[in-house]
Amino acid sequence: MRILGPALLGLALATAAQAQTPQGPITAEGLDRGLSNLGLMAGHAVQCLAEAEQPRAQRAVLLFNSMLVAELGSNAAFRFASAFGAGSSHAVDRSFCERSLADWRKLVQDHALDR
């Protein structure tokens, strides 16, 4: 599971790179922004799933959050979890479901969350 830290840093970098140019060193703010964006995406994606698939996805979110606690600490896990809550509390914009679900499936696959 020690791979999660670098993978998350890469994801946060990709997210931060879209927001700022030129790309600089990894910062705490960039990592926080990446975790927030990831949580928002995951919350939206879970809502886009069929109702029968949502419990399994919620278990994957809990597993991912526990991996965050182990790898990056409780502050990072809280950042992701609170963003997930925000992402799952808004009405679903179906026009973004395809992208959110693709990103979600990649996250599940990359971190073996489908166990």
Residue 30 domain-assigned? yes
Domain residues for the domain of 76 are: 4-110
Residue 46 domain-assigned? yes
Query: Is the pLDDT assigned to residue 15 strictly greater than 70?
Result: no
Residue 73 domain-assigned? yes
Q: What average pLDDT score do residues 11-28 get? A: 57
Q: Which residues contact 48 (CB under 8 A, 6 or more apart)?
A: 92, 94, 97, 100, 101
Residue 98 domain-assigned? yes
Residue 115 domain-assigned? no
Q: What average pLDDT score do residues 54-61 get? A: 93
Query: Is the pLDDT assigned to residue 26 strictly greater than 90?
Result: no
Q: How many domains does the chain have?
A: 1
- Confidence at residue 107, expressed as pLDDT on a 0 to 100 scale: 84
Residue 15 domain-assigned? yes
